[in-house]
Amino acid sequence: MALKSTVYKAQIQIADMDRNYYEDHLLVVACHSSETEIRLMMRLLAFSLHAQERLEFANGISEPDEPDLWVKTLTGEIDLWIQVGQPDEKALLKACGRARKVVVYAYNQNPRLWWEKIAPKLVKARNLEVYFVEHQSAEALGNLADQRLDLQVMIQEGEITLRSDGGEVGLQVSRMEV
């Protein structure tokens, strides 16, 4: 018998001064039985960094042909594909062929080693952006997870601060060149 997902309810207040985006979002997010709280919080971080009217969660962890988050146009084309973790180069090339823009947030133990291994195979992927969150920052982010999460996210000059009842995490997301 398969384990069930755990439902998280997140009230996220985003103040993104870099994009002039100030909105509150009430999200109900399923944490898949094979997903860690760190990965769940990375998905919420990615949501916060790209929040807009049409951004929605997809079935990335349970459906290999979908990202973790995406923005679709009114005609159903994929405008933005967001993946969390360290996907292989084949999955990334396929995503780059399907979406106008693909963004990856890598965070595990050594995301730079993962990137060094696959980057040479992705030189033609002009619509790909890859970002890193250091392991310690990702772990601290995971510690904020709560099934009833009230999260404030402030973004200013590339610095990101997340606050909840569980504490505060400040982090920077580093971009790697493709």
In this structure, is residue 152 part of a structural domain? Answer: yes
Residue 39's CATH number: 3.10.640.10
The parent domain of residue 156 ranges over: 6-176
Radius of gyration of the chain (CA): 16
pLDDT of amino acid 27 = 95
In this structure, is residue 151 part of a structural domain? Answer: yes
Q: Could you list the mean pLDDT of each consecutive 10-residue stretch along the chain, which spans 178 residues?
A: 78 97 94 88 97 91 86 96 94 96 91 90 93 92 93 95 94 84
Q: Output the DSSP codes for 10-21.
A: EEEEEEETTTTE
Q: Which long-range contacts (CB under 8 A, 24 or more apart) does 48-54 make?
A: 48/12, 48/14, 48/16, 48/153, 48/155, 48/160, 48/162, 49/16, 49/155, 49/160, 49/173, 50/80, 50/82, 50/103, 51/12, 51/14, 51/16, 51/21, 51/23, 51/25, 52/21, 54/79
Question: How many Å apart are CA 86 and CA 20, to the nearest integer?
Answer: 30
pLDDT of amino acid 1 = 45
Domain count, the chain: 1
In this structure, is residue 1 part of a structural domain? Answer: no
In this structure, is residue 52 part of a structural domain? Answer: yes
- Exposure string over 13-51, b if 16+ CB within 10 A, otherwise e: ebebeeeeeeeebebebbbbeebebbbbbbbbbbbbbbb
pLDDT of amino acid 3 = 66
SS3 of 50, please? helix
- With 0-12 / 13-18 / 19 or more C-beta atoms within 10 angstroms meaning exposed / middle / buried, residue 131 is middle
pLDDT of amino acid 110 = 81
pLDDT of amino acid 131 = 95
In this structure, is residue 83 part of a structural domain? Answer: yes
